[in-house]
Amino acid sequence: MGLALHRPDGPPGNLEWLETPPWDVEAVELSRDGRVAAWVVNENGVSRLFVRRLAAGALDGEAWRAAPVVEVPMPEAGVIAALALSADGRRAVLLINRSRRPAEVYTVELAEVGPSRQIAPPRQVTDGFIGAIPEEELVVPEPVSYVTWDGRGISGWLYRPRKASPEHRVPVVLSIHGGPEAQERPTYSAFYQLLLHRGIGIFAPNIRGSTGYGRTFQRLIYRDWGGGELKDLGEAARFLRSLDWVDPDRIGVFGGSFGGFATLSCISRLPEYWAAAVDIVGPSNLITFAQSVPPTWRDFMAEWVGDPERDAELLRERSPITYVDQIRAPLLVIQGAKDPRVHRNESEQMVARLRELGREVEYLLFEDEGHGFTKRANNLKAFRAAAEFFERKLLGPGAGPG
């Protein structure tokens, strides 16, 4: 998505494109006096902020191109969650979320934006990080990419524990985001940082279906759940095994919602890669999942996943429950009893079958939650349980911070 100017005195749809970057433009602000324009570009998950000061506030293509563009230097790779300009355009206010600090308010002085094309970095004006953990104790992820099965590049964020080395190989958890139309970005995750502190790495890829890489890539997931994206995840496991600081026998997998479905797909259809898994509110049976969604979702579900009657054969073939007898990895399943999107039966049929087969499975049900966690105590309990499960299965008893 680019940045375009619509001329109200022209015919409908008469747009003049002002900026056409190869990445999505996520936010645009124009000062009230019309003299300063600012916009945010999502470049491979990282926010970049650009500013132009327009001569006499003339908002047309010629004036736009004549105004120098200035990029605001960020303190660290992160995500600009909100952007606002003062009425006179002399100052911008930003909400920035970084991997080592949750969202804080920053200000940027824009008065000097001009031909010099230089501007000072944002200044942090709030400090809401409860616990005040020193930033140097936290881990900044590395942007990485790998080539998947059909030649496409898959990007992601790799978090390496501080003590990891070829001489001290460590376990890694493959974290699969929900959606699936969402994007893993370098924002603060207490869960990731806790695992890293304990000596467990994280790899969070943006497999096909993710946003931020164009509509064609995003729509590859449509009616292909458990198809191409599962192959992407298999390649991700092989990528991790190729790293000299990763213990190839201690790779876990984790995800919620669609990420939970993908986690169950991984351990049931690619069982050779995983030493432990945590699934949060993930569908296990695409037929019952498609049948149980709210009525307002049914047309969308048929386009997105498949129709439970017309596409029953496809949905059965792509369902993790179909391959439950292949699961070898210990599994923790977390579910909300009141979930309207992924009914509790999705978790409970998987848990029941695994118990019948004598496989190792733990089940944590929250009676007062739905699709995710609205209560802080439940959120803490769920992610503490997930972290402790990975510690037991990937590190063993007595393991210390890594």
- DSSP labels, 137-173: GS-PPEEEEEE-TTS-EEEEEEE--TT-BTTB-EEEE
Element (H, E) at 335: strand 331-336
SS3 278: strand
Residue from 257, 284, 319, 347 carrying the catalytic annotation: 257
Kindly report the CATH number assigned to the domain that includes residue 42. 2.130.10.120
Does some domain include residue 131? no
6 catalytic? Reply is no
CB 279 within 8 A of CB 324: no
The model's pLDDT over 247-288, given as tens digits with 9 standing for 90+, comes to 999 999 999 999 999 999 999 999 999 999 999 999 999 999
Residue 138 confidence class, pLDDT cut points 50, 70, 90: very high
Q: Choose between 255 and 68: higher pLDDT.
A: 255
Per-residue confidence (pLDDT) for residue 402, from 0 to 100 = 47
Distance from C-alpha of 288 to C-alpha of 342, rounded to nearest angstrom: 10
Please report, as a single letter, which amino acid is at residue 245: W
What is the per-residue pLDDT for 69? 86
182 Rama sector, left if φ>0, alpha if ψ -120 to 50, beta otherwise: beta
Same domain assignment for residues 63 and 144: no
Specify the number of domains making up the chain. Answer: 2
Give the Cα separation of 132 and 120 in Å (integer). 26
Q: Are residues 109 and 158 in the same domain?
A: no
Phi/psi class of residue 257: alpha, beta or left (left: φ > 0; alpha: ψ in -120 to 50)?
left
17 contacts: CB under 8 Å, gap ≥ 6: 2, 3, 4, 5
Helix count (H) and strand count (E) of the chain? 10, 18
> How far, in Å, CA of 37 to CA of 28, rounded?
7
Domain end position, chosen among 124, 150, 168: 124
Distance of CA 108 to the CA centre of its chain: 27
* In-domain check, residue 50: yes
pLDDT digits 0-9 by tens, 304-335: 999 999 999 999 999 999 999 999 999 999 99
* Gyration radius from the chain CA atoms: 23
Same domain flag for 93 and 143: no
Residue 402 lies in a domain: no
Range of the domain at 44: 3-124
Tell me 68's DSSP state: P
In a domain, 117, yes or no: yes
Active site residue 371: yes
> Do residue 338 and residue 222 come from a single domain?
yes
pTM for the whole structure: 0.91
From 189, 339, 343, 347, active-site residue? 339
The whole-number average pLDDT for the span 133-157 is 94
Q: pLDDT band at residue 133, thresholds of 50, 70 and 90? A: confident
Query: What pLDDT was estimated at residue 400?
Result: 44
User: Is 339 assigned a catalytic role?
Assistant: yes
Task: Provide the CATH number for the domain around residue 236.
Answer: 3.40.50.1820
Tokens of 114: 């001009």
pLDDT in tens, 156-168: 999 999 999 999 9
Q: Is residue 18 over pLDDT 70?
A: yes
Does 217 share its domain with 355? yes
Q: Tens of pLDDT along 350-399? A: 999 999 999 999 999 999 989 989 999 999 999 999 999 999 999 976 44
| Burial of 11 from C-beta contacts in 10 A (0-12 / 13-18 / 19+) | exposed
